[in-house]
């Protein structure tokens, strides 16, 4: 099962194995990763699951589609070149080892 690591702003790390096909917001919520909230349940309406994909991994996750890119306009933390809404990233074998940075404490 692909392993994903969330690195919090204070440097603390949370790691989890994510079943292929599940999105990375739902797992973050399950693992109590702080400030990945996912209020809308992953339907691209709240922008509360904002993460920065580690630059080394951005080539593999790819960038946001149009709707997601629009929603990234209202994230609480600053939008950066590797910003994604984690509900829109699905676990896949090629993402084993993925590192996401949570933009809040």
Phi, psi of 22 (to 5 degrees): -80, 150
Q: Contact between 70 and other proteins (CB under 8 A)?
A: yes
Which of 56, 74 has the CB closer to other proteins?
74
Which of 1, 67 has the CB closer to other proteins?
67
Q: Contact between 26 and other proteins (CB under 8 A)?
A: yes
Total length of the chain: 105
Spatial CA neighbour of 98 closest among 34, 46, 24? 24
Residue 5 to residue 13: CA distance in whole angstroms: 7
* Site for other proteins, rule CB under 8 A: 22, 26, 29-30, 32, 39-41, 43-47, 66-68, 70-71, 73-74
């Amino acid at each position: 099962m692909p392993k994903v690591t969330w690195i919090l702003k204070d440097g603390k790390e949370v790691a989890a194995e994510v079943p292929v096909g599940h999105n990375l917001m739902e797992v973050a919520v399950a693992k109590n990763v702080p400030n990945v909230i996912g209020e809308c349940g992953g339907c691209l309406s709240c922008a509360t699951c904002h993460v920065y994909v580690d630059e080394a991994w951005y080539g593999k996750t790819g960038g946001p589609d149009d709707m997601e890119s629009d929603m990234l306009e209202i994230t609480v933390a600053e939008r950066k070149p590797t910003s994604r809404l984690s509900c829109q990233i699905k676990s896949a074998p090629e993402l084993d080892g993925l590192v996401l940075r949570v933009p809040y404490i």
